[in-house]
């Protein structure tokens, strides 16, 4: 089969390499760098562009005339979409001889929509979540087509969004290797059931705000779900937004201590902050307002802030 890849994340680069090994890769559509500059987890295909410059096209809109014309010229039997946020319209879906197949990081029909891994970590309650990755036939209605394959994995309580997406990548390659020979032989998938269908929506920057009055587990889940390569969870403090890149649960803290109070600063370990009713968290890496990423204890030491101060008024 002649296969064309559409994607703009590291997964798309990995799928491209895998397809080159097992089938005939005729081209790759990546996201135009002007738009990629505003996207988390962006892949620019630098290596592929140097190696096969005539086989890559950078699109601003997958459904515009220029993008469709370029893909049509490649005459693909199959298009594999991985990590592309624009919805394919009917004219685009009709380009390949067989169909467009999409990779979606959920056990469809559960978890349709956007920002799935971020949302699942945020909702996890600090627990392991049995999850998985689906390969499906794309339709005009998003994430609704026949299921071609599924590979399970667990979003563990130790995972961040980065490590969870590495599981998505690994499971995707397993499915790609398993399903391409089947599609070549005529396999067309199985219809999705309606039971257990859920949908998530694209996150906005303001959705990353944390309240220090929350419990430690909820705060840590937000940080895990929004850390690099995403924009980060944040606390609003007096001088701006304090981005939080890593945290662990701390010990019991007396109820009379106000949330946000700095309980302890230990060089090489972090900053212990009161949160919730009687809990605490160790803040690790942060990005202070109008500053660069650093360790929280380093930042507070430079500012000559000590235990007893409240982080919200810094």
pLDDT in tens, 166-219: 999 999 999 999 999 999 999 989 999 888 899 999 888 899 999 999 999 999
Say what the alpha-carbon torsion angle 238, 241, 246, 251 is, to the nearest 10 degrees. 30
CA distance 17 to 76: 17
CA distance 29 to 70: 9
Q: Which residues of the chain have pLDDT under 70?
A: none
**pLDDT value, residue 237:** 98
**What is the set of domains in the chain, with CATH numbers?**
2-200 (3.40.50.170), 205-313 (3.10.25.10)
CA distance 81 to 39: 17
**pLDDT value, residue 38:** 86
pTM: 0.93
**Which 8-state DSSP code applies to residue 20?**
H
**pLDDT value, residue 193:** 83
CB 284 within 8 A of CB 245: yes
**pLDDT value, residue 186:** 93
**pLDDT value, residue 202:** 87
Question: How many Cβ atoms from other residues are within 10 Å of residue 61's Cβ?
Answer: 14
**Which 8-state DSSP code applies to residue 280?**
E
What residues does 242 pair with on adjacent strands?
Answer: 235
Q: For the stretch 108-142, what's the b/e string if a residue is b when 16 or more beta carbons lie within 10 angstroms of its beta carbon?
A: bbbbbeebbbbbbbbebeeeebebbbbbbbbbeee
Residues 6+ positions from 96 with CB-CB distance below 8 Å: 4, 76, 77, 78, 79
Kind and range of the H or E element at 236?
strand 233-237
């Amino acid at each position: 089969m002649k296969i064309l890849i559409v994607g703009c994340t590291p997964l798309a680069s990995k799928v491209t390499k895998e397809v080159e090994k097992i089938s005939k890769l005729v081209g790759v559509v990546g996201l135009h760098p002007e738009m990629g500059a505003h996207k988390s987890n962006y892949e620019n295909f630098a290596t592929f562009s140097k190696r096969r410059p005539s086989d890559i096209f950078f699109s601003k809109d997958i459904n515009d005339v220029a993008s469709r014309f370029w893909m049509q010229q490649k005459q693909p039997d199959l298009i594999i979409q991985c990590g592309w946020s624009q919805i394919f319209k009917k004219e685009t879906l009709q380009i390949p001889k067989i169909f467009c197949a999409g990779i979606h990081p959920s056990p469809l029909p559960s978890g349709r929509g956007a920002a799935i891994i971020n949302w699942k970590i945020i909702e996890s309650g600090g627990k392991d979540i049995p999850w998985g990755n689906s390969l499906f036939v794309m339709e005009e209605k998003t994430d609704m087509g026949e299921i071609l394959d599924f590979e399970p994995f667990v979003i563990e309580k130790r995972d961040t969004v980065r490590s969870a997406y590495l599981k998505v990548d690994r499971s995707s390659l397993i499915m790609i290797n398993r399903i391409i020979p089947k599609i070549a032989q005529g396999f067309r998938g199985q219809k999705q059931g309606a039971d257990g269908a859920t949908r998530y929506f694209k996150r906005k920057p303001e959705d990353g705000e944390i309240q220090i009055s929350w419990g430690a587990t909820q705060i840590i889940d937000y940080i895990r779900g929004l850390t690099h390569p995403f924009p980060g969870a944040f606390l609003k403090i007096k001088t701006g937004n304090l981005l939080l890149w890593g945290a662990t649960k701390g010990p019991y803290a007396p109820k009379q201590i106000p949330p946000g109070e700095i309980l302890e600063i230990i060089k090489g370990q972090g900053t212990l902050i009161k949160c919730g009713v009687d809990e605490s968290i160790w803040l690790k890496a942060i990005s202070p307002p109008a500053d660069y990423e650093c360790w929280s204890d380093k930042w507070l030491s430079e500012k000559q802030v000590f235990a007893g101060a409240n982080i919200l008024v810094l």
